[in-house]
Amino acid sequence: MTSLLNIFWLGLKELRSVSSDLVMLIFVVYSFTGAIYAQATGSSSEVNNASIAFADEDNSALSRQLAEAFYLPRFQTPEPIAVTDVETAMDEGRFMFVVVIPPQFEADLRAGRHPDIQLNIDATAMQQAAIGGGYIKNIINERISSFFRRTDDSAQPSINLIIRRLFNPNGETSWFASVVGIINQITLLTVVLTGAAVIREREHGTLEHLLVMPLTAFEIAMAKVWANSCVILVATALSLYFIVMKVLHAPFSGSVSLWFSGVLLYLFFATALGIFLGTISRSMAQFALLIIFVNVMLQLLSGGSTPVESQPVWLQYMTFFLPSRHFVSFSQKIIYRGGGLDAVWPQFAMVSVVGLAFFIYSLALFRKSIAVTK
Amino acid sequence: MPIPESHVSMAIDDRAAVASIHGVTHRYGTTIGLDGLSLDIPSGRMVGVIGPDGVGKSTLLALIAGAKKIQQGKVIVLGGDIAGARHRRETCPRIAYMPQGLGKNLYFELSVQENVDFMARLFGLTAGERLSRIRELLRATGLSPFPDRPAGKLSGGMKQKVGLCGALVHEPDLLILDEPTTGVDPLSRRQFWALIEEIRSGRPGMSVIISTAYMDEAQQWDWIVAMDAGRVLATGTPAALMERTGTSDLERCFIALLPEEKRTGHVDLTIPPRPTGKSEVAIDAKGLTCRFGNFVAVDHVSLTIERGEIFGFLGSNGCGKSTTMKMLTGLLPPTEGSAKLFGQPVDAGSIEVRKNIGYMTQAFSLYGELTVRQNLVLDARLYHIPPNKAETRIKELVEKFGLGPYLDALASDLPMGLRQRLSLAVAVLHGPALLILDEPTSGVDPVARDNFWELLIDLSRNQGVTIFVTTHFMNEAMRCDRISLMHAGKVLAADVPKKLIEARGAATLEEAFIGYMEDAIGETTTDGQTKEDADLRAGTDASQHAVRSGLSLRLSRLLAYTINETMQILRDPVRLAFAFVGSALLMLVFGFGITTDVEHVRYATFDLDQTLESRSYLEQFAGAPRYFAQQAHVRSVEDALSRMQSDKISLVLEIPPNFGRDIRKGSRPEILAEVDGADTFRGETVAQYVQSVQDAMLLDPNNGIGIKPQKYTANFQDRYMYNPTFESVYAMVPSIPPILLILLPAILMAVSIVREKELGSMINFYVTPTGRLEYLIGKQLPYIAIGMMNYFVLVTMALLVFDVPLKGSFLMLTLCTLLYVTVTTGIGMVISTFTSSQVAAVFVTTIVTLLPTIQFSGFLQPVSTLAGRARFVGSIWPTTYYMHASKGVFTKGLHANLLAPDLTFLACSIPVLWTVSALALSKQER
C-alpha cells in the first residue's frame, strides 16, 4: 500500500517534470502530428511520376497510341529516344523504364504472331521496378486489346481475372504508413522520455536525493513507467483520432480497446528499454547516440518498413524476439484486417513475455547502477 | 561594434592599469551578470577579485581575457580595446587564462604531457622549445613523475597545476586565474600559491588577476576588488580595506562592505557548548573500506559520533568523503567493515535506516522544475507524514527558515543561499535524528552561510540532532564540535579543532591540516621546491622563441588540433565503437533488414468447381514455388476471412462453380483473387504476381485448360538492367554506404565540436591565436580518416558478406568517397555552429541528414521521378551525387566520364561548407 502510494506520488512528480520541459513537449507534439503526417504522405512505395521512354522502331498507328497511354500521376509523359541511346540514358539514370517496340510490331500482331516488346527496367530501384513493370505490361496489353477490339471482338482474355484488394481497396499508402508511423513514434518517444527521465534525475543529482529516502528502486522505476506511459497513451489516442482518422482518413477496422490493451503491453517493454538505455549511458550525449542505433534497428527489423517474411530465415528467428515486430504485426491485424483477440493472442503473449523479462532485467540493472553511482 | 583603436593614447594608461573597464554591463537572458561596472586594475600586481558565487567574477575575468564577447561597455587590456579582433589576435599570446572548474580547459583523455604540449603547439613553439619548456614546467609544479597520466585521473589540485602549466607555457604578461583553488585540498593550495609566487619573482612585470571565494587566501595579495551583485563594492589593498571597515580579517571586512539590507540580522555566531556527560552513540563505524576495482576509495575508516554532535569532515575533492557518507547511509555496501546507526547495523538498502536520516547532497538536488511548496509536499508524501501533520510541520519549517515569500517560486529560480535553506528544510522535514550534509555552503555568500549555520546550531543544541557535515571552509570547521581530516581515503586525525591545532603547535587549523597531510605523504616539499624554482627562472630567461613564418604556424596549429582530436577518439571507447562497430552493425541491419523481395506468398484456394480445368488453373500457382506457397484449402467465405485476418494467408484464389463448363462453352468465366492489401506495397506486388501467372498461362499453348493462346498480345522481354536476378540485395547494398557515410561522420563531427563547447575546452580556441579554419579543418581531418576507414569496411562487407560484386573502378569510387566524406563531415561542422548541447547536435544532425538522404537522394525513389521542391532538394543534396556514383560503380560499372559531374559537385561543396562554418563559428563566447 505505501509502496503504491510512493509510486503514485513520484509519478505525479514525473508528470510535472515532463510538463515543464518545453523542448520535450514540442518534440512529443511534433512526433505525433507533423512527423506522422509527413511519413504517411511522403511515402515512396507507390509508383508515382515514374520516368519512362519509348524507343519506337515500328512507328505505326498502334505503337504511337501505346506511348500515349502513359500519363500522370503514375508516369511522366514518355520521351522518345533512339534505340542506340537506351544504354547510355539508363546509365545516366534518366529513365527508370525504357520500352523498345520492334519494327513490324503492328503488322506482326495482325498476322496473329506474338512479337516481342523489350522492357528495360532499372532494377536498382527495387520498389518501383517490379510494380511499375507490371503496370506497363497491363497498360500496353489493355491498349493493344482495345485497339484490335474495334475490328475483332475476340481480342480479350478468355478468363476474366478479378483482383480484389482486401482491407485497403484502393491501395492507399497513407493508411499503412500512418499506422506504421504511430508505431515507430510510440517506440521512439517512450524510450526517449523514460531514458531522459532517468538521466535527468541522475545529472541533476535528484536521484541521490530519492535514494536516501525510504524508497526502493522498484518504486522509482515504476513511477517513471506509469507516468511516461500515460503521456504516450494520451498522445497516441489523440494522434490516432485526429491525425490518422480525421486528417488522413485511414479506417480502423478492429476494436480500439483491444488495440490499446496491446499498446499497454508494449509500453511495458518500451519503458523498460528506456530505463535500460538511461542506465547504461553515462551522459545524455551517449544516450542520444545509443537511441539512434536502437531505434533504427527496431524500426527496420520490425516489419513496418519492409515485410518480415522478406527477411532471411535466420534473421526472422532473431527478430521473433523483438516485441516491436509483434507490435507491428498485431497492430496490422487489428487496425486493417479487423482481427479479434483470437487472431492476436500469440502476439500479445509474446510481447508480454519478452517485455516482462526485459523489465525485470532492466530493473535489476537500474538497482545495481544506483548502488555504485558516485 | 567597431571602436577605433588608439594605441597611442592608451599607451600612457598602460603603465598604470593592465586593464580598464568602463561601464560594462553583461546579461544572461534576463539575469544581470555585470551591472554597469567600471574599474582600473593596476599592472604588475597580484590582484584578487573576491565575492561569493554568481556575483559576476567569472564574467569579468572572461571579458578581460577576451574569451567572452562584450555586450555593452568598453574593456581596455594591455593598451588596446579587447573588442577589436586585431588587438585580440596580437595580444592573446601575452595573456593566459585559466577558466573556473577543475581542469575545465583540459582534455581528460589526454595525458599531462599531451595537454601542455597541445597548448604549446597552439602558441607556435617549436619542437625543441616545447620539450624543454614542458620539462621545466612539469618539474616546477611537481608533475614530473606522471607525465603520462590522463588528466581525467588526476586529483583536483594536480588538474589545476596542469592547467597552470598550459597557461604559462607561452610566458604571458597577464595571467588570469578564475577560482583556481576551489575544491583543492589545503596542501595543494599552498603549493599552488607558492608556485605562482615563484613565477612572479622570475617575471616581475607579470600581472596576475585571480578570483576566489576564499577570503583568507586573498588577504595575502597586493590589491583587492570586492564584488557583489555585478558591481564593485570596494577596491584597494587588503590592509586599507580592513582598516576602512575596522575589521581584522577579510571575511568580516567583506560582510561589512555589503550593502545595509544584506547585512541585516547578521551577528557574529556564538555556539553554546554541548551539554557534558556521556551521551548515546549516534554513528559507530568500524574499519569501513570501499574498493572500486583496484582503487581504494575509503581505507579503514573508524568513527564514533555522539548524539547531538556537529561533526565536521574535511578533505579535498575525491578524498573519499562522499563515499564514506554513502556507506554510513547504506547507499553503498562497504567492501569491508561495518557501520551502526543508533545501535542498529546499517544494511545496504535498508528502508528503516533511511527514515532516521536527513541527507543533503553536494549539488542542489531538489526538483528545480517544482515550486518550493511542491518540493516540500512531495517529500512529506514520500515519508508518509499524514496530511494534517505534514501541513503544520511545513508551516513551521517555512517560518523558521524564512521561505514564506518564496513558497510558489520555482526552486531553480531561487538564489544559492535560499536553495540551501530549502534543501535543509526538506532534509529535516521528517524529523530525522541524523543529518548528513555534503558541502552545504559551497558557493554561498558569507552572510547566508552564517544564517545557515545558525539553523544547524539550533538543530544540534535544541533538538539533539546529530549533524555530520563536510566543508572546505576552515572557519566553518572551527565551529564543529569535532572534525576529522581525510586524505586519500584515510582519516588522518579526528578531534576537537582547537586540540588538533594545539597538537601540531600550529597557528591555524589550515596549517595543522597541512601538517597532517605532509606527514601522511611522508615528504617535505620545501627543499625540492627552491631548486626547481631556480631551474624555472633559468629556463624562463633562456627560451625566447624563434620567429616562424605565418603559414607554417597555421599548419602547426591545425595539426595540433588534428593530433589532439585523434588521441581523444582513440581513448574514448564509446565514440570509437560508434564510429566503427556502428557502421558495420547498421550495414548488416540495413542489408538484411530492408528487402523488398516478396517471396513464398502464403495462399489458399477456394475451388467451388472441382473440374479438370479449375485444377489445371490452380496448378499454375503451385508450379511457381519461389513466389507462392500453398496452404490448406479454404472451406468457406468465413474461413477465408478469418485466416486473412490473422495473417495466415495473404491470397485466396476463388474459382466459381461451372468454371470448366464456361471455358468449354467459350464464355468468359470470372476468377476472383483476393489479396491482403494491408501492407500496400506487398499487396500490390502479390496482385502483380497473380496477373503475370495468368498472362503467362494464356500465352502458353499447352496450358492444360484447353483454351487457345490469346490473340493480339505482345510477348514481353523483361530486361532487369544492373540486377538481372532482380534481388533486392544487389540494389540495396550499394545504397547503404551513402547513408551511413553521411549519418555517422556528420554526427561524430558535430558532437566533437559541440562537446568542446559543452565541456569548456572551447576556451582554448577563444584565447589562443588559432584561426577558425585551422580549428575546423584540424578537427575535421581525423573524421575524414574515420569515414574512409568505414568505407573500406563497408566495401569489404558488401563483397564478402553480401556477395555483391564491384563492377566499376574501385579507385574512382574511393576518390568520390574521399570528397563525399569531406562534405558530410562539413555538414556536421555547419550544424555544430548553431547547436549548443551534444544531445541537440545528435538529434538535429540525424533529422537534417536522414530525411533528405532517404527521401530525395535516390535511395528508394529514383531521382528522375522526383518533382518540384523534392527535386530541388535532391539536386543540392550531396548524397544524390554519391548515391549515383556508388550505385553506378557497384552495379553499372560506369566509366569515369559519367562520374565526372558527381565528382565536380562534391568538390565544389567543400569550400562552401568551410566558408559557412567559418563565418558562423564565433571566436569568442557569447
pLDDT digit string, tens, across residues B844-886: 898 888 888 887 888 877 877 777 778 888 899 999 999 999 9
Residue of B nearest to A370 (CA): B331
C-alpha cell read off for B150: 590522463
Q: What is the mean pLDDT of residues B689-708?
A: 79
**B895: confidence class by pLDDT, cuts 50, 70, 90:** confident
Separation of alpha carbons B566 and B781, rounded Å: 9
Contact state of B714 with A332 under an 8 Å Cβ cutoff: no
- Among the candidates A149, A182, A203, a domain finishes at A149
The full DSSP string for B693-728 is HHHHHHH-TT-SS--PPPSS--EEEEEEET-TT--H
Using the CB atoms, write b or e for B691-713: b if 16+ within 10 Å: bbbbbebbeeeebebebeebbbb
- B758 and B831 belong to one structural domain: yes
**Which of A52, A170, A207, A209 has the most B C-beta neighbours within 10 Å, making it the best mutation to test the interface with B?**
A209
Q: What is the mean pLDDT of residues B411-437?
A: 86
- A94 and A179 belong to one structural domain: no
Q: Kindly state whether residue B528 falls inside one of the protein's structural domains.
A: no
Percent of chain A with pLDDT over 90: 27
**Domain extent at residue B473:** 281-521
> Which strand (E) or helix (H) includes residue B281?
strand B281-292
Amino acid letter for position A12: L
pLDDT of residue B4: 43
- B775 and B825 belong to one structural domain: yes
- B380 and B337 belong to one structural domain: yes
A214 contacts on B by Cβ (under 8 Å)? 351-352, 354-355, 382-383
Contact state of B714 with A144 under an 8 Å Cβ cutoff: yes
Residue-wise pLDDT for A232-291, tens only, equals: 999 999 999 998 888 888 888 889 999 999 999 999 999 999 999 999 887 777 888 888
pLDDT of residue A45: 62
Contact state of B677 with A169 under an 8 Å Cβ cutoff: yes
Residue of A nearest to B412 (CA): A204
- A178 and A221 belong to one structural domain: yes
Separation of alpha carbons B6 and B4, rounded Å: 6
> Which strand (E) or helix (H) includes residue B744?
helix B736-759
**A155: confidence class by pLDDT, cuts 50, 70, 90:** low
SS3 category, A71: coil
Q: Kindly state whether residue A154 falls inside one of the protein's structural domains.
A: no
- CATH number, residue B134: 3.40.50.300
Query: Contact at 8 Å (CB) between B57 and B227?
Result: yes
**Which of B602, B839, B843, B881 has the most A C-beta neighbours within 10 Å, making it the best mutation to test the interface with A?**
B839
SS3 category, B170: coil
Report the gap between the CA of A28 and the closest CA in chain B (Å). Answer: 14
Residue-wise pLDDT for B541-588, tens only, equals: 444 444 566 788 899 999 999 999 999 989 888 878 888 888 899 999
- B756 and B901 belong to one structural domain: yes
Separation of alpha carbons A162 and A155, rounded Å: 18
Pairing of strands B17-28, B72-77: antiparallel
> Which strand (E) or helix (H) includes residue B357?
strand B357-360
Number of domains in chain B: 4
pLDDT at B533 over 80: no
**B904: confidence class by pLDDT, cuts 50, 70, 90:** very high
Q: Kindly state whether residue B557 falls inside one of the protein's structural domains.
A: no
The phi and psi torsions of B47 (rounded to 5 degrees) equal -105, 130
Place of cell 583496484: B294
Contact state of A289 with B574 under an 8 Å Cβ cutoff: yes
Query: Contact at 8 Å (CB) between B14 and B78?
Result: yes
- B501 and B635 belong to one structural domain: no
Residues 6+ apart with CB under 8 A from B18: B41, B42, B43, B44, B77, B78, B174, B207, B209
- A111 and A28 belong to one structural domain: no
The phi and psi torsions of B3 (rounded to 5 degrees) equal -110, 125
Q: Kindly state whether residue B84 falls inside one of the protein's structural domains.
A: yes
Residues 6+ apart with CB under 8 A from B81: B3, B5, B74, B75, B87
- A64 and A37 belong to one structural domain: no
Residue of B nearest to A13 (CA): B378
Query: Contact at 8 Å (CB) between B666 and A160?
Result: no
The full DSSP string for B633-672 is PP-SHHHHHHHHHTTS-SEEEEE-TTHHHHHHHT---EEE
Query: Contact at 8 Å (CB) between B882 and B734?
Result: no
Separation of alpha carbons A58 and A62, rounded Å: 9
In angstroms, what CA-CA distances link A26 with A20, A217, B174, B277? 11, 30, 47, 63
C-alpha cell read off for B387: 496530511
Looking at chain B, the number of H-run helices and the number of E-run strands are: 36, 25
Q: Kindly state whether residue B688 falls inside one of the protein's structural domains.
A: yes
**Domain extent at residue A351:** 2-43+170-372
Separation of alpha carbons B102 and B112, rounded Å: 14
Q: Kindly state whether residue A159 falls inside one of the protein's structural domains.
A: no
In this complex, the residue of A114, A159, A282 whose CB is nearest that of residue B669 is A159
pLDDT of residue B544: 46
Number of domains in chain A: 2
Separation of alpha carbons B853 and B736, rounded Å: 11
- B39 and B73 belong to one structural domain: yes
- B447 and B511 belong to one structural domain: yes
- A269 and A233 belong to one structural domain: yes
Q: Kindly state whether residue A196 falls inside one of the protein's structural domains.
A: yes
Separation of alpha carbons B227 and B38, rounded Å: 12
Separation of alpha carbons A258 and A246, rounded Å: 20
Strand partners, B292: B295
Residue-wise pLDDT for B100-127, tens only, equals: 887 888 998 899 999 999 999 998 888 8
Q: Kindly state whether residue A160 falls inside one of the protein's structural domains.
A: no
- Region of poorest pLDDT, from A137-146, B89-98, B700-709: B700-709
The phi and psi torsions of B711 (rounded to 5 degrees) equal -80, 165
Q: What is the mean pLDDT of residues B812-833?
A: 95
Q: Which of residues 305-364 of A touch B (CB under 8 A)?
A: 305-307, 309-312, 315, 329, 332-333, 336-340, 342-344
pLDDT of residue B464: 87
Residues 6+ apart with CB under 8 A from B830: B913, B916, B917, B920
Q: What is the mean pLDDT of residues B420-449?
A: 84
- A103 and A177 belong to one structural domain: no
- B649 and B581 belong to one structural domain: no
- B205 and B295 belong to one structural domain: no
Separation of alpha carbons B27 and B30, rounded Å: 6
- A71 and A143 belong to one structural domain: yes
> Which strand (E) or helix (H) includes residue B76?
strand B72-77
pLDDT of residue B567: 93
C-alpha cell read off for A199: 538521466
Contact state of A6 with B382 under an 8 Å Cβ cutoff: yes
- A233 and A128 belong to one structural domain: no
Using the CB atoms, write b or e for B368-393: b if 16+ within 10 Å: bbbbbbbbbbbbbbbbebeeeebeeb
Residue-wise pLDDT for B273-332, tens only, equals: 777 666 788 888 888 898 877 778 888 888 888 888 999 988 876 778 878 888 887 777
Residue of B nearest to A215 (CA): B351
- A38 and A181 belong to one structural domain: yes
- B223 and B77 belong to one structural domain: yes
Q: Kindly state whether residue A245 falls inside one of the protein's structural domains.
A: yes
- CATH number, residue B690: 3.40.1710
Query: Contact at 8 Å (CB) between B112 and B151?
Result: yes
Query: Contact at 8 Å (CB) between B276 and B282?
Result: no
Amino acid letter for position B683: G
- CATH number, residue A57: 3.40.1710.10
Separation of alpha carbons B374 and B395, rounded Å: 13
Query: Contact at 8 Å (CB) between A95 and A130?
Result: no
pLDDT at A127 over 80: no
pTM of the complete model? 0.83
Q: Which of residues 176-235 of A touch B (CB under 8 A)?
A: 176, 204-206, 208-209, 211-216
Q: Kindly state whether residue B596 falls inside one of the protein's structural domains.
A: no
Q: What is the mean pLDDT of chain B?
A: 85
Q: Kindly state whether residue A336 falls inside one of the protein's structural domains.
A: yes
Strand partners, B207: B174
**B403: confidence class by pLDDT, cuts 50, 70, 90:** confident
pLDDT of residue B738: 94
Tell me how far the alpha carbon of residue B758 is from its chain's centroid: 6
Q: Kindly state whether residue B80 falls inside one of the protein's structural domains.
A: yes
**B42: confidence class by pLDDT, cuts 50, 70, 90:** very high
Q: Kindly state whether residue B431 falls inside one of the protein's structural domains.
A: yes
Query: Contact at 8 Å (CB) between B591 and B732?
Result: yes
Residue-wise pLDDT for B123-177, tens only, equals: 888 888 899 989 988 888 888 888 888 888 887 778 888 998 988 888 889 999 9
Report the gap between the CA of A54 and the closest CA in chain B (Å). Answer: 14
Residue-wise pLDDT for B631-660, tens only, equals: 999 888 889 888 888 888 999 999 999 888
CA neighbor of B200 nearest in space, from B168, B223, B225, B226: B168
- B67 and B194 belong to one structural domain: yes
Separation of alpha carbons B158 and B192, rounded Å: 9
pLDDT of residue B278: 63
Q: What is the mean pLDDT of residues B807-818?
A: 93
Place of cell 574515420: B786
pLDDT at B535 over 50: no
Contact state of B728 with A126 under an 8 Å Cβ cutoff: yes
- A136 and A175 belong to one structural domain: no
In this complex, the residue of B645, B675, B679 whose CB is nearest that of residue A176 is B679
- A245 and A365 belong to one structural domain: yes
The sign of the dihedral angle between the CA atoms of B517, B521, B526, B532 is negative
Residues 6+ apart with CB under 8 A from B833: B753, B917, B920, B921
Using the CB atoms, write b or e for B181-218: b if 16+ within 10 Å: bbbbbbbbbbbbbebbebbbebbeebbbbbbbbbbebb
Q: Kindly state whether residue B276 falls inside one of the protein's structural domains.
A: no
- A27 and A117 belong to one structural domain: no
- B901 and B795 belong to one structural domain: yes
